[in-house]
Amino acid sequence: LIYSGGLVTSITAHHRSTALQLPMGLVYAALPVGAILMSLYLVLQIADGVRRLKA
C-alpha cells in the first residue's frame, strides 16, 4: 500500500482536480501517508502486547 500509493501519487501529481484546481497528488498522498501511520500504529501495538506478555 505504501509503495503503490507512492506510485499513484507520483503519477497523478501533475493532474489538477476539476473544481478546486488542487494537484491530485495531494489527494492521493493520503494513501501512503495513511499506510505509514497504520504501520507505525501496528508496530506500537505489537510492542505493547509483547511488553504485557513479559510482565
Tell me the pLDDT band of 3, cut-offs 50, 70 and 90: very high
Report pLDDT digits (tens) over 21-55.
999 999 999 999 999 999 999 999 999 999 999 97
What pLDDT sits at residue 55?
79
Q: In this predicted structure, what is the pLDDT of residue 30?
A: 94
pTM above threshold 0.85: no
> DSSP characters for 1-55?
-HHHHHHHHHHSTT-B-TTT--BHHHHHTHHHHHHHHHHHHHHHHHHHHHHHHH-
Cell numbers 492521493 correspond to what residue?
28
